[in-house]
Amino acid sequence: MGMQSPGPIKQWRLSIGTLLFVGLGLVLTAAATLGFVLWSAAAVDRRALDQQAALARHVIQSQLARVPHEQESITIWDDSIVNTSIAFNEEWINVNIGRWMLDYFGHDDVLIVNQANQPIYAMAEGSAMGDARRDAALAQIMPLISQMRVQIAGGGLDAYNAGSVAHPPRVSELAVIDGTPALVSISPIISDSGTLTQPTGSEYLHVSMVRLDDDYASRLGEEYQIPALSFSFAGSAVPGIAEIPLTDIDGRFIAFLEWQQSRPGQALLDQAIPAIAGAFLIAALIMLVLMRQLWRNSSALEAGRADAEFQAAHDHLTGLPNRLRFESALTQVLMQRPDRDRRISILVMDLDRFKTVNDTLGHRAGDDLIRAVGQRLSQLLGPDEILARLGGDEFAIIHRHAPGLNGPFVLSNRIIDAIGKPFDIFGSEAFVGVSIGIATVESEEADAHELVRKADIALYEAKAGGRNRAIVFEETMNELLQNQKTIEVELREALRLKDQLSVAFQPLFAADGSIIGAEALARWTHPRLGQISPTHFVPVAEATGLIGALGSFVLRVACELGAKWPGYTFAVNISPAQLRDASFPSTVFDMLAQTGMRPVDLELEVTEGILLEEASEAAEALRIFRAADIKIALDDFGTGYSSLNYLKRYPVDRVKIDRSFVSQLAPGSVSIAIVQAMVTLAHALRIDVTAEGVETQEQMAVLRALGCNVYQGFLLSAPIPSAAFEKLLTEPESRVA
Ligand code: C2E
Ligand code: CA
Ligand code: CA
Summarised one tens digit per residue, pLDDT across range 526-572 is: 887 788 889 888 988 988 889 999 999 999 999 999 999 999 999 99
Cβ of 535 less than 6 Å from ligand 1: yes
Mean pLDDT of the chain: 87
Q: By CB neighbour count within 10 A (0-12 exposed, 13-18 middle, 19+ buried), where does 614 fall? A: exposed
Task: Confirm or reject: Cβ of 533 under 6 Å from ligand 1.
Answer: yes
CB of 88 within 6 A of ligand 1: the answer is no
Nearest ligand to the C-alpha atom of residue 638: 3
Segment 670-694 shows an average pLDDT of 88
Instruction: Measure 655 CA to ligand 3 centroid, in angstroms.
Output: 10
Establish whether residue 573 lines the binding site of ligand 1, counting it when its CB lies within 6 angstroms of any ligand atom.
yes
Bridge partners, residue 433, by sequence: 352
- 169 alpha-carbon distance from chain centroid: 94
Q: Which residues pair with 428 in a beta bridge?
A: 425
Q: Work out the average pLDDT over 255-262.
A: 88
Angle between helix 264-313 and helix 323-335 axes, rounded to 10 deg? 90
Whether the CB of 484 sits within 6 Å of ligand 1: no
Residues 6+ apart with CB under 8 A from 305: 6, 9
Residue of 548, 558, 651, 641 whose CA lies nearest to 603: 558
Q: What percent of the chain has pLDDT over 70?
A: 93
The span from the CA of 210 to the CA of 173, in Å, is 11
- Considering every ligand atom, which ligand is closest to the CA of 658? 3
Q: What pLDDT was estimated at residue 573?
A: 97
Task: State the closest ligand 1 atom to the C-alpha of 719, by its place in the atom list counted from 1.
Answer: 11
- Average the pLDDT over 615-636 and give the result: 88
Render pLDDT for 542-551 as a digit per residue (tens, 0 to 9): 888 899 999 9
Helix (H), strand (E) at residue 353: none
DSSP string, 118-153: -EEEEEETTEEPPHHHHHHHHHHHHHHHHHHHHHHH
Q: Are 52 and 261 in contact (CB under 8 A)?
A: yes
Tell which residue, 227, 191, 186, has the closest CA to residue 207: 186
Looking at per-residue confidence, does 640 or 389 come out higher?
Answer: 389
Ligand 1 proximity of 472 Cβ (cutoff 6 Å):
no
More confident residue, 430 or 509: 509
Neighbouring-strand partners of residue 347: 397, 438
Question: Is residue 444's pLDDT more than 50?
Answer: yes
* Residue 717, ligand 1, Cβ within 6 A: no
Are 184 and 200 in contact, with CB atoms under 8 Å apart?
no
Q: Is the minimum distance from the CB of 719 to ligand 1 under 6 angstroms?
A: yes
657: part of which helix (H) or strand (E)? Answer: strand 654-657
| Range 169-185 average pLDDT | 91
- Is the distance from the beta carbon of residue 107 to the nearest atom of ligand 1 less than 6 Å? no
Exposed / middle / buried, residue 566 (Cβ in 10 Å: 0-12, 13-18, 19+): exposed
Per-residue pLDDT, 615:
56
Q: What is the pLDDT of residue 1?
A: 38
Pocket of ligand 1 contains residue 420 by CB under 6 Å: no
392 alpha carbon – ligand 1 mean position (Å): 26
Mutate to test the pocket of ligand 1, among 573, 655, 710 (most ligand atoms within 8 A of CB): 573
557 CB within 6 A, ligand 1: no
Task: Please report the pLDDT score of residue 7 as a whole number.
Answer: 47
The mean pLDDT of 604-618, rounded to a whole number, is 75
Q: Is the pLDDT of residue 654 over 90?
A: yes
Q: What is the DSSP letter of 725?
A: H
> Distance, CA 521 to ligand 1 centroid (Å)?
6
pLDDT band at 84 (very low <50, low <70, confident <90, very high): very high
Gap between the Cα atoms of 544 and 532, Å rounded:
17
Indicate the DSSP class of residue 431: -
CA distance 515 to 558: 16
Q: How confident is the model at residue 470 (pLDDT cuts 50, 70, 90)?
A: very high
Between CA 341 and CA 347, with CA 344 as vertex, the angle to 5 degrees is 145
Helices (H), 469-519: 475-482, 484-497
Query: DSSP 3-state assignment of 562?
Result: helix
For atom 4 of ligand 1, which residue has the closest CA? 521
In terms of DSSP bridges, do strands 654-657 and 688-691 run parallel, antiparallel, or are they unpaired? parallel
CA of 575, closest atom in ligand 1: 44
Can you give the pLDDT at residue 626? 92
pLDDT, one tens digit per residue, over 661-672 is: 888 887 777 778
Cβ(640) to ligand 1 under 6 A? Answer: no
Q: Which of the ligands is closest to the CA of residue 574?
A: 1
pLDDT surpassing 70 at residue 633: yes
3-state helix, strand, coil in the chain (%, to 5): 50, 20, 25
**Ligand 1 within 6 A of CB of 422:** no
- State whether residue 546 is helix, strand or coil: coil
Q: Which residues pair with 176 in a beta bridge?
A: 181
Assess contact for 699 and 715: CB atoms under 8 A.
yes
- 348 Cα: distance to centroid of ligand 2 (angstroms): 26
- Percentage of the chain surpassing pLDDT 90? 43
State the pLDDT at residue 520.
Answer: 98
Residue 730 and residue 55: Cα distance in Å, rounded? 149
Which atom belonging to ligand 1 lies closest to the Cα atom of 578? Answer: 44
Instruction: Output b/e per residue, 206-221; b: 16+ Cβ within 10 A.
Output: bbbbbbbeeebbeebb
> Which residue has the CA at smallest separation from atom 25 of ligand 1?
521
Per-residue pLDDT, averaged over 384-393, amounts to 90
Give the pLDDT score at 669: 72
Q: What is the pLDDT of residues 401-435, one digit of tens each?
A: 988 888 999 999 999 999 989 888 888 788 888 99
Q: Ligand 3 centroid to 100 CA: how many Å? A: 147
Q: Give the residue, by CA position, lying nearest to ligand 1 atom 17.
A: 693
Report CA(120)–ligand 3 centroid distance (Å).
Answer: 157
Among 55-59, 148-152, 186-190, the minimum mean pLDDT is found in 55-59
Answer yes or no: is the C-beta of 607 below 6 A from any ligand 1 atom. Answer: no
Q: Which of 299-303, 487-491, 498-502 has the lowest mean pLDDT?
A: 299-303
- Give the span between the Cα atoms of 551 and 5, in whole angstroms: 59
Asked if 519 contacts 571 with a C-beta cutoff of 8 angstroms, the reply is: yes
Question: Is 50:325 a contact under the CB 8 Å cutoff?
Answer: no
Measure the CA–CA gap between 370 and 368, rounded to whole angstroms: 5
Determine the atom of ligand 1 nearest the C-alpha atom of 464: 28
From ligand 3's centre to the CA of 400, what distance in Å? 35
User: Is residue 274 scored above 90 in pLDDT?
Assistant: no
* CA 669 to centroid of ligand 2, rounded, Å: 25
Predicted local confidence at residue 6, as pLDDT:
45
- Determine whether the shortest distance from the Cβ of 548 to ligand 1 is under 6 A: no
Q: Which of 468, 508, 521 to mutate to test the pocket of ligand 1 (most atoms within 8 A of CB)?
A: 521
From the CB of 696, is ligand 1 less than 6 Å away? no
CA dist 677 and 661 (Å) reads: 12
Q: How many residues does the chain have?
A: 737
Give the separation between CA 229 and CA 25, rounded to whole angstroms: 46
Residue 317 identity: L
pLDDT for the residue 90: 92
